[in-house]
Amino acid sequence: MELSPHDLAMAMAEILLNKKAIDVQVLRIGDLSVLADYFVICTGSSSTQVKSLAEEVESRLSERGIEPHHIEGHRSTSWILLDYSSVVLHVFYQESREFYRLEHMWADAEKLDLSALGRA
């Protein structure tokens, strides 16, 4: 099933929140860049959780017939990137998130409200 970029980003955020990701953010960057329409950014509390969060999103979206076009960092425990073309997911370990500061680099991006997303 094809999802709009907004719906895909929100689906990712909900999966991450339900999996206890830390500080989940969805940034609408489409007006600022040709890279993607949205960045979804989150933090895992351990290297194991970083991998688990990325795998959960990939698995749950794959069940819906949605596959990433590119994956970076699967062997890494500090930053895993799943590129779904219109939406790019960044799963960080805390130190890496603080180092790369994507939210700061994309400070002009609209930050979506995730308060309506429940935690299962």
The pLDDT value given to residue 120:
46
Pick the closest to residue 61 from 119, 120, 10, 115 (CA basis): 10
> Model's pTM, two decimal places?
0.93
Return the CATH architecture of domain 5-111: 2-Layer Sandwich (3.30)
Please, which pLDDT band fits residue 28 given cuts at 50, 70 and 90?
A: very high
% of the chain beyond a pLDDT of 70? 97
The pLDDT value given to residue 46:
93
The yes-or-no verdict on residue 92 having pLDDT over 60 is: yes
Residue 114, C-beta contacts closer than 8 angstroms, at least 6 positions apart: 10, 13, 17, 24, 25, 26
